[in-house]
Amino acid sequence: MFTLFTDHLPECTVRHKRPVALVTVELGRKAGVMNSRKSLDGVPSWVPATGHALRHAGVHFDAVRIGGFLGEDVAYRLMEFTDFQAGPIVREATGEKNLYFLLPPGSAAAHAWPAPARALSRSGRGLAFVGIPALHGSTWPLDWRSRPTAEDPFVEPDLLHNMVIDAVR
């Protein structure tokens, strides 16, 4: 169950004859009803409302960057293994077409990531920033390969590490 405050919705979305302060909605698993497993009760604070924004890796999340086909391969393996509930994966549409797997803060350093994967976190080696797209609207050249959810706010670091090891073999 979650609460939706209607004063933040566009006028065209909710039409009432009198003002309503809030609406409570129950989510179920019936056909035609939104599945609560993939809904976000609250958008993470590091996800921008519109467009995209740079976020400092190591503050709200750590990231593992993997480029091109290998990144897509790892993302597919991870999503298939987790029944498409992998946690947040950001995809670039330009350049090297990197994928950024977002992990809990402080967790990327626990693993030795094989090349070409690169851990991005708070470290003495410098600052790392990751582009984060909004959940909706125009976010080019970034998009979500897998979105954060309340149940899966981050990619599981040990599982990702194993998937990367298998993919580079």
Per the structure, the complete domain to which residue 21 belongs is given by: 1-39
Q: How many domains does the chain have?
A: 2
Please check the confidence at residue 102 and state whether its pLDDT lies above 60.
yes
31 shares its domain with 82? no
Flag whether 138 is in a domain: yes
Binning pLDDT at 50, 70 and 90, where does residue 126 land? Answer: confident
93 shares its domain with 124? yes
Flag whether 143 is in a domain: yes
- Quick one: which H or E segment has residue 73? helix 68-81
69 shares its domain with 97? yes
Each residue of 105-124: pLDDT tens digit? 999 999 999 999 999 998 76
6 shares its domain with 80? no
Give the whole-angstrom CA distance, residue 87 versus residue 82: 9
33 shares its domain with 74? no
* CA atoms within 13 A of residue 137's CA, in its CB half-sphere: 9
Task: For residue 1, give the 3-state DSSP assignment.
Answer: coil
93 shares its domain with 141? yes
Each residue of 24-72: pLDDT tens digit? 233 333 333 333 334 445 789 999 999 999 999 999 999 999 999 999 9
Q: What is the pLDDT of residue 127?
A: 85
Flag whether 124 is in a domain: yes
